[in-house]
Structure 1
Amino acid sequence: MPPESESSPNFWGDMREEEYYTSQGVRNTKSYFETPSGKLFTQSFIPLDLPVRATVYMSHGYGSDTGWLFQKICINFATWGYAVFAADLLGHGRSDGLRCYLGDMEKVAAASLSFFVHTRNSEPYRHLPAFLFGESMGGAATMLMYFQSEPNTWTGLIFSAPLFVMPENMKPSKVRLFAYGLMFGMADTWAVMPDNKMVGKAIKDPEKLKIIASNPRRYTGPPRVGTMRELARVCQYIQDNFSKVTAPFLTVHGTADGVTCPTSSTLLYEKAASEDKSLKMYEGMYHSLIQGEPDENANVVLRDMKEWIDERVARYGQNRS
């Protein structure tokens, strides 16, 4: 990855996008999707030379977007024979909404879900296995999408360092939230909450940290009042409803994650009702398992994800009429 990426339109440098994606073995398309809550920027990553065996619907983390380094996850899955679809969450990237304001996570999740379900039910994908994938805060959004979905919509779920349990140092002060709450909602969008420098705690590889920090669409302001209030609420809601998870799932976490508690994954694994559930813990790895770890570590995580999804596609196959 070139150090001049700070001044380049893409993390890989100045190579034309179509040329880059072709070199990676995928076809990329970009479009916008209208939802009742606003317009979403969406991308697809389709394998060039492989038959599509299943579809995967991906959601990124807080302050991020589906471009820049997140799409490396999308590209990897596409090179394994999966059609990948991703959407910038409302308030993120090139989608509508106030930057990084997540005052109603149910609405944020429903917007992305409307695009995912529309694609999932379209030709030629409607008969194929379909998986939801969520990274970090996108894991919480993905879990809300799962709860909002009709039964049997999804073949399985994949979570990478999901946000289901907030570390103590990340939890918003109840006193501060109460004080802002007395202002009749006027303070909900204010970007005034303490910033715990999450990026530095997420990325282990210093060169990748530089590249991620140079993403022109990354949100760098302080967290908004309503965002932190809502994330705390949603985490508790998800914890209270782990037992409602019945779909096959894989959840992975680094033991040295300083952004989302590793107990997010262990509690899900312990409390979910799914008969087919898998947990992978990576000793000493940070939060960003694929984008931010040294390549040798990231490749271990990707290998485990590939083995898991390949096995589920073979196991469950085209079981949808």
Structure 2
Amino acid sequence: MEQASSPPVNFWGSTPDAEEFYAAAGVRNTKAFVDTPYGRLFTQSWHPLSETSSPRALVFFTHGYASDTSWMFQSIPITFAQWGYATFAADLLGHGQSDGLPGYIEDIQTTASAALFFYKSVRDGPEYGPEYAQKKKFLFGESMGGGLTFLMLLQDPQGWDGAIFSAPFLSVPEPARPSGLRLLAYGLLLGYAETWPVMPQNNIQGNVFHDQEKAKIIRMNPRRYKLPARVGTMRQLMVLCDIFEKRCGEVLTPFLVLHGTGDTCTAHEGSQMLYDKAKSSDKTIKLYDGFYHSLLQAELKENSERVYMDIHAWIDARTSVPQ
């Protein structure tokens, strides 16, 4: 009888090893744990391998719900590094190798603050010296990470030269919204139910992955949260949506927001609202007819290439040519 094949070690497979993979991709990867006032975060960076040219700018990436920075999500900052950008990311609290109960968001503002603490430590810290201090700094958020990026812009409105939102979690389609009565009932248990993984799966599923082969790889992630959503997590995601509705007009930072109209996980109407109400003088929206939620990790190849092309053109137009 044939033995079941073991899952791959990395999203690209079991070979080559990580060092060879990054070298072949033309990037240099570093990993570190960073202590924040809110908990310990696992962080990574990807730099262009060439030591002869300076990076165009710094970009800080925030992943989505149930994900982390060590599986297929890292293909996004790797691509930016191949374009000449220095890129950084952290596993969110309750995700990947960072502190916290897996899949649990106790407080959405704290989750944003923890990642922002790391980003600012790079942006404002002495590690990379005056060379990086002169570079422009951008935020990138995918899905829930897009919602957290929105919160970061509220918490630190003057610190960024631009932001990119990929299918941001800012508004939820009605069929995917958690039952208010269910959340109210669990709330009557004085906090005991907040960590229970009992929310219906339809609240976080839908048209997420268009390319089913890539979807299989994403689901192989050994650190991916696979249980039903925790009560407190869904409650905090609704808090995020409420904050967005009340404060979306406060965004002043230049931004690009991208969303597929076929996405039934997050509502593209939220991205439209951000574009319509934000006070940014430089703002761009791209709506892709029929595209699903995962625009860069698991969209059809020709579709993801189109999205990447739009992102590349937008950020290159707002950064200086490396010296």
What TM-score does the superposition give when structure 2 sets the normalisation length?
A: 0.93
Task: Name the structure 2 match of 1:129.
Answer: 136
In 1, distance between residues paired with 2:292 and 2:179?
25
Task: Name the structure 2 match of 1:148.
Answer: 155
Q: Give the secondary-structure state (helix, strand or coil) at the position aligned to 1:98.
A: coil
Once the two structures are superposed, the pairs formed by residues 1-321 of structure 1 within 5 Å of their partners are 7-14=7-14, 15-49=16-50, 50-122=53-125, 123=129, 124-149=131-156, 151-196=157-202, 198=204, 201-314=207-320
Deviation at 1:5, TM superposition (A): 9.0
In 1, distance between residues paired with 2:114 and 2:274?
24
Uncovered stretches (5+) of structure 1, i.e. residues with no partner: none
Deviation at 1:6, TM superposition (A): 5.8
In 2, distance between residues paired with 1:132 and 1:267?
19
CA contact under 8 A between 1:5 and 1:211: conserved in structure 2? no
Q: Give the secondary-structure state (helix, strand or coil) at the position aligned to 1:132.
A: strand
In 2, distance between residues paired with 1:60 and 1:27?
20
The code of the aligned residue for 2:103 comes to C
The code of the aligned residue for 1:127 comes to Q
1:234-256 deviations in whole A, cap 9, x for unaligned? 11111211110011000000010
CA contact under 8 A between 1:65 and 1:93: conserved in structure 2? yes
CA contact under 8 A between 1:5 and 1:11: conserved in structure 2? no
In 1, distance between residues paired with 2:57 and 2:89?
14
Q: Give the secondary-structure state (helix, strand or coil) at the position aligned to 1:241.
A: helix
Select between 303-312 and 163-172 the one with higher mean Cα deviation: 163-172
The code of the aligned residue for 1:271 comes to K
**Aligned structure 1 segments of 4 or more residues deviating by more than 3 angstroms:** 197-200
Deviation at 1:101, TM superposition (A): 0.8
The code of the aligned residue for 1:121 comes to D
The code of the aligned residue for 2:189 comes to M
Q: Structure 1 pair 177/198, CA: closer, same or farther in 2 (3 Å)?
A: closer
The code of the aligned residue for 1:126 comes to A
Q: Give the secondary-structure state (helix, strand or coil) at the position aligned to 1:202.
A: coil
The code of the aligned residue for 1:78 comes to A
Q: Structure 1 pair 165/56, CA: closer, same or farther in 2 (3 Å)?
A: same
Q: Give the secondary-structure state (helix, strand or coil) at the position aligned to 2:281.
A: coil
Deviation at 1:314, TM superposition (A): 3.8
The code of the aligned residue for 1:22 comes to A
1:13-36 deviations in whole A, cap 9, x for unaligned? 121101000111100011100011
What TM-score does the superposition give when structure 1 sets the normalisation length?
A: 0.94
The code of the aligned residue for 2:105 comes to L
In 1, distance between residues paired with 2:209 and 2:54?
34
CA contact under 8 A between 1:6 and 1:211: conserved in structure 2? no
Deviation at 1:112, TM superposition (A): 0.4
CA contact under 8 A between 2:142 and 2:167: conserved in structure 1? yes
The code of the aligned residue for 1:131 comes to F
Q: Give the secondary-structure state (helix, strand or coil) at the position aligned to 1:201.
A: coil
1:49-98 deviations in whole A, cap 9, x for unaligned? 24201000000000000111101101110011110000000000010001
Percent sequence identity over matched residues? Answer: 51
Deviation at 1:308, TM superposition (A): 0.3
In 2, distance between residues paired with 1:5 and 1:117?
42
In 2, distance between residues paired with 1:231 and 1:237?
10
In 1, distance between residues paired with 2:260 and 2:283?
18
In 2, distance between residues paired with 1:5 and 1:103?
37
The code of the aligned residue for 1:55 comes to L
Q: CA RMSD in A?
A: 1.7
In 1, distance between residues paired with 2:119 and 2:71?
21
Deviation at 1:7, TM superposition (A): 1.6
Between the two proteins, the alignment pairs up a number of residues equal to: 313
The code of the aligned residue for 1:92 comes to H
In 2, distance between residues paired with 1:128 and 1:253?
28
The code of the aligned residue for 2:28 comes to R
